[in-house]
Amino acid sequence: MPPRYSTPHRSRAMKMSTRLHACLKSGTTAGGFGFALNSPAAVEFLLLDVDLDFIIIETQHAPVSAADAAHLLRAAQSADPQATPIARVPCHDVYWIQQMLDLGFVGLVVPLCESADQARALVQATYYPPLGLRSIASAIRAKMYDDYINQANDHIILLPQIESRRGLENVEQIAAVEGVNALLLGPADLSLDCGWFDHLPEIWSYPPFIEALDRITAACNANNIPLATMVGGESVFHAQKAGLQIICSGVDTIAMRNTAPAVNDIMDRLHKD
């Protein structure tokens, strides 16, 4: 009789290559959605009904801890394992980058990247040697991916965010850093820093912004990397028309706020009776 616990191992490994990777390979537009409510149920419900190429879990502008992010990621992958999971971390801290990658996030959006030196530091924190200096651990959630240690460097998507005047001034050098495989444009913060904020949400037709966008796009094209953004409403289609390939088309907090007019209408009608 074989030992009690000798059942052959049945691999449940997931593939790191998901929809966003397929979009980047084919050159098609990738559409995604952001989550900041810290609600696994909200993540799960939306992904059960909408085919997203990727999701972004917000930890910069939301009270979401690393432990919270793990629950949100589990909900996403249980509902749709092919939607590429990305985390927006709150800072450049190695701890946050390591935690999100060890949890199993495949992409990282890192805010306020303003120089090539900062970009190189992000690469060092994000990738295993020889490209970076990411610390290795055997008992991490990311090991759910097939052959993770050998596959990670080829599949992780690092998106430094260009959202300041200084970042714009150094965008050519940032885009050229090996390991930076996409840039993410922050239209609102860039406009705020450059004095264009009063032109939101019509910023996509504002000449100084268009000039800045052209410069960022040229830097991406010169290094054969895509440009991403996080916008909503009609700005989604302005971004697509401008040639951006990775577009996060909204966030759950704003989507919920946008239901307010309908709820107010119902309340008004109830109170009239």
pLDDT tens, residue by residue, 218-249: 999 999 999 999 999 999 999 999 999 999 99
- pLDDT for residue 2: 47
Residue 18 pLDDT: 95
Taking the CB of residue 90, how many other CB atoms lie within 10 A of it?
15
Conformational region of residue 243, where left means phi above 0, alpha means psi within -120 to 50, and beta covers everything else: left
Domain holding 41: CATH number?
3.20.20.60
Domain tally for the chain?
1
> Tens of pLDDT along 50-65?
999 999 999 999 999 9
Query: Exposure string (b/e) for 165-186, b if CB count within 10 Å is 16 or more?
Result: eebbebbbebbebebbbbbbbb
Q: For the chain, count helices (H), then strands (E).
A: 13, 8
* CA–CA gap between residue 86 and residue 44 (Å, rounded): 15
pLDDT in tens, 171-212: 999 999 999 999 999 999 999 999 999 998 899 999 999 999
What integer pLDDT is reported at residue 138 of this predicted model?
83
The one-character DSSP state at 204 is G
The answer as to whether 1 is a domain residue is no
Q: What is the mean pLDDT of the chain?
A: 94
Residue 183 lies in a domain: yes
Amino acid at 77: Q
Give the confidence band of 128 by pLDDT, cuts at 50, 70, 90: very high
Per-residue pLDDT at 11: 55
What is the amino acid identity at position 156?
A: I
61 is known as an active-site residue: yes
What is the H or E stretch that residue 169 is in?
A: helix 165-169
Residue 147 lies in a domain: yes
Q: Output the pLDDT for position 273.
A: 67
From 9, 21, 61, 271, active-site residue: 61
pLDDT digits (tens, 9 = 90+) for 244-267: 999 999 999 999 999 999 999 999
The DSSP bridge partners found for residue 107 are 86, 157
Residue 266: which domain range?
19-272
Residue 12 covered by a domain: no
173 inside domain: yes
Residue 203 in any domain: the answer is yes
For residue 50, give the 3-state DSSP assignment: coil
Give a yes or no: residue 62 inside a domain. yes
Q: Is residue 209 part of a domain?
A: yes
Q: Find out whether 61 and 36 touch, Cβ atoms under 8 Å.
A: yes
